[in-house]
Amino acid sequence: MRRVVVTGLGVVSPIATGRENYWQALKAGKNGIGPYTTFDVTDCPVPFGAEIKDFDPSQWMDNKEAKRSDRVIQFAVAAADLAVTDAKLDTASLDPHKFGVYIGSGQGGIETTFNNFKTMMEKGAKRVSPFFIPMMISNMSTAYVAIKHHAQGPNMCVVTACATSVHSMGEAYHTIIRDDADVILAGGTEAALRSISIAGFAAMKAISTRMDAPEKASRPFDIDRDGFVMGEGAGVLVLEELEHALKRGAHIYAELVGYGSTCDASHITAPDPEGNGAARAMRKAMAHAKWLPEDVDYINAHGTSTPLNDKMEAMAIRSVFGEHTDKVLVNSTKSMIGHCLGAAGALETVAAMQSIQEGIIHPTINLDTLDPECAINVVGSRAVEKNVSRFLVNSFGFGGHNGVAAFQKFED
């Protein structure tokens, strides 16, 4: 059986750009949440989130391309370039037919959609941009990355809301195993911080309205949580067939050994209240990996800071791990970078990947009092030292979509 390893990590996030800067910020508990600055918040019901400030797309594409691409595409191109550089991957030397791109997005070019709809309403249909469609459709991020790196192999844009990134990585994993690709750039991208999207989540009562203290609004598993905080960014991993990676002398961060995908089939937005779908996804990932519950050291949780999701996830973890639950450390990257929707799982995987390298698990900031209904071992406000050999990354999305990826320390 072909094996799949991670050889490169690329990050564009609200707290830092680039793998090393991102990791240092996470270890320090840096908070990326504050007032929005990149758009008019006059009609925005919640004027704060985890925003990427001072992003300059001209570092990653020429000015003409930047003007013809949505922010969601720009983030994807940047994260993919950073991952390729981190992997020391000479893309020109690859077999282009076995080089793929799987970068998903939950909402695609929402800013482009909003702006062109407004233009049509105010000035008429003839004033809609000829680039509206290619700037808006979700798969264009994969297209831009493929064109830039001449990746002519499998190319897919997964759209499963907040489970998007983990599903992208998992489907890429299966593609490499069945020998349809040797290298795939896999992950997610999201740039949904605009009034229309925020208003939609606010109308659902899904996001925090902690106006008096935005920096404390994202507080996964805390008894005082009141909703998630929106974020933006992109995370891309270089997934590579093991022999291909060894042949070129690549640094291997970890091995991807399992993937679970399930659906609650319960409700369009609320999770299964007993966490059955999430538990099945964890069990599937662990079964692929041939792990027992006691083999798992750490879980990077979905941990959104919503009342229902955190309770459900804690129940699912306890259901899967039983008496071993208290020995498994859990944290939530979203406490610092907010909920980056389709990009969340990839950004969280990059964070967890560093834990397996350094033996440090980053903090879950703003966790003042653990909710008794979330009876799991959550890392609090300070990073902890822990030898990590095996970990899970959980992602659960609207529609009941569940994705879990299992990684372990590489052993040849």
Domain ranges (residues) in the chain: 1-396
Please state, in angstroms and as integers, the Cα–Cα distance from residue 278 to each residue in 37, 299, 356, following that order: 36, 13, 23
- Predicted confidence at residue 67, as pLDDT, reads 94
Annotated active-site residue in 162, 263, 340, 374: 162
Phi, psi angles (nearest 5°) of residue 381? -75, -5
With beta carbons less than 8 A apart as the criterion, state whether 166 and 98 touch.
no
- Predicted confidence at residue 43, as pLDDT, reads 87
- Predicted confidence at residue 189, as pLDDT, reads 98
For residue range 240-268, list pLDDT tens digits in order: 999 999 999 999 999 999 999 999 999 99
With beta carbons less than 8 A apart as the criterion, state whether 140 and 73 touch.
yes
With beta carbons less than 8 A apart as the criterion, state whether 75 and 311 touch.
no
End-to-end CA distance of the chain: 14
Determine whether 157 is an active site residue. no
Provide the mean pLDDT of the chain.
Answer: 97
Please state, in angstroms and as integers, the Cα–Cα distance from residue 183 to each residue in 60, 83, 93, 120, 376, following that order: 21, 12, 12, 42, 36
| Single pTM value for the model | 0.97
For residue range 109-144, list pLDDT tens digits in order: 999 999 999 999 999 999 999 999 999 999 999 999
Domain at 1-396: CATH architecture = 3-Layer(aba) Sandwich (3.40)
With beta carbons less than 8 A apart as the criterion, state whether 192 and 341 touch.
yes
- Alpha-helical (H) ranges within 56-95 are 63-67, 71-86
Helix, strand, or coil (residue 187): strand
> What integer is the mean pLDDT of 349-362?
97
For residue range 206-247, list pLDDT tens digits in order: 999 999 999 999 999 999 999 999 999 999 999 999 999 999
Question: Could you count the other beta carbons within 10 Å of the beta carbon of residue 68?
Answer: 15
Closest CA to 160 of 345, 375, 381, 352: 345
Helix, strand, or coil (residue 300): strand
- Please give the Cα distance from 402 to 174 (Å, whole number): 17
Specify the DSSP class assigned to residue 224. Answer: T
Which residues sit opposite 408 in a β-bridge? 255, 390
- Predicted confidence at residue 75, as pLDDT, reads 98
Residue recorded with tokens 């091995």: 255
Per-residue pLDDT at 17 exceeds 90: yes
pLDDT band, residue 1 (cuts 50/70/90): confident
What percentage of the chain has pLDDT greater than the value 70? Answer: 100
- Please give the Cα distance from 408 to 376 (Å, whole number): 22
Which residues are CB-contacts of 324 (< 8 A; sequence separation ≥ 6)? Answer: 293, 294, 296
Please state, in angstroms and as integers, the Cα–Cα distance from residue 378 to each residue in 216, 275, 294, following that order: 17, 18, 17
- Please give the Cα distance from 345 to 340 (Å, whole number): 8
Specify the DSSP class assigned to residue 162. Answer: G
Helix, strand, or coil (residue 292): coil
> What integer is the mean pLDDT of 302-321?
98
Which residues sit opposite 298 in a β-bridge? 329, 391
With beta carbons less than 8 A apart as the criterion, state whether 8 and 237 touch.
yes
Phi, psi angles (nearest 5°) of residue 193? -80, 75
Exposure b/e, 275-296, CB count within 10 A at least 16 = b: bbbbbbbbbbbbebbebebeeb
